[in-house]
A and B are shown apart, each in its own frame.
Chain A
Amino acid sequence: NAGVTQTPKFQVLKTGQSMTLQCAQDMNHNSMYWYRQDPGMGLRLIYYSASEGTTDKGEVPNGYNVSRLNKREFSLRLESAAPSQTSVYFCASSEFRYEQYFGPGTRLTVT
């Protein structure tokens, strides 16, 4: 049972490049989330999907887009990367009103 998986683990981009972070869960959860973690800031919610077919903005959505491809998969896209998007990105999933399960993270550096 893999839980929540994320790819890639590490990525270096140049300013202006685009990329998609992939996330998949095998727990049949309805809700999925994308967070970014920055030193001294804790985790901040970028986007979430309460159920398949729906997505909503979180606290820091600017510069990102998401796609809930199906119940298992939730991707995060950076269309034009900026140095301010250097961070560690975590995907999580949950069943409504229950705890969230986190993936191992993607460490992204934008130069």
Chain B
Amino acid sequence: GNSVTQMEGPVTLSEEAFLTINCTYTATGYPSLFWYVQYPGEGLQLLLKATKADDKGSNKGFEATYRKETTSFHLEKGSVQVSDSAVYFCALSAGTASKLTFGTGTRLQVTL
């Protein structure tokens, strides 16, 4: 079946540090890949997506590249801000009905 593995958190960084959150996946066929973000007390919001190999999704300074050869979709940001503190979920969608399979989430805490 489909599965997503992402790095354990929490990740604690100082403001302006470089961020990487690793995500690897197992899927049949050609999945679409997503990063969602959840701010405290809120629902999930789509951060970025990529629908085919070598696509790069980007939004709000975050980037992730769909790597089929390594089955990875790592999230990066060059300079994090305190306002980026949240839980980040990697997810994939494959097959019918656009069902999402989520990773367990990585909590990011950014301090001044």
Contact = CB atoms under 8 A, between A and B. Distances in A.
A42 interface: yes
B102 A42 contact: yes
Contacts of B103: 42
B46 A99 contact: yes
B23 to A, nearest CB: 12
Nearest to B34: A99
Nearest to B101: A45
Interface of B is mostly: strand
A87 to B, nearest CB: 14
B98 A104 contact: no
A95 to B, nearest CB: 8
B42 interface: yes
Interface string A33-52: 10000001111110010100
Given A92-B100, A96-B97, 18 more contacts: A31-B97, A33-B100, A44-B102, A45-B99, A48-B99, A50-B97, A58-B99, A90-B43, A90-B44, A92-B44, A97-B32, A97-B98, A99-B34, A99-B46, A99-B49, A101-B46, A102-B43, A105-B42
A41 B104 contact: yes
B43 A31 contact: no
Contacts of B44: 43, 90, 92, 102
Contacts of B46: 99-101
B100 A104 contact: no
6 contacts: A4-B43, A45-B100, A56-B97, A96-B97, A99-B34, A100-B98
A102 B97 CA distance: 16
B12 to A, nearest CB: 18
A103 B32 contact: no
A15 B43 CA distance: 26
A102 B44 CA distance: 6
Closest 3 CB pairs of A and B: A102-B43, A42-B102, A50-B97
Contacts of B104: 40-42
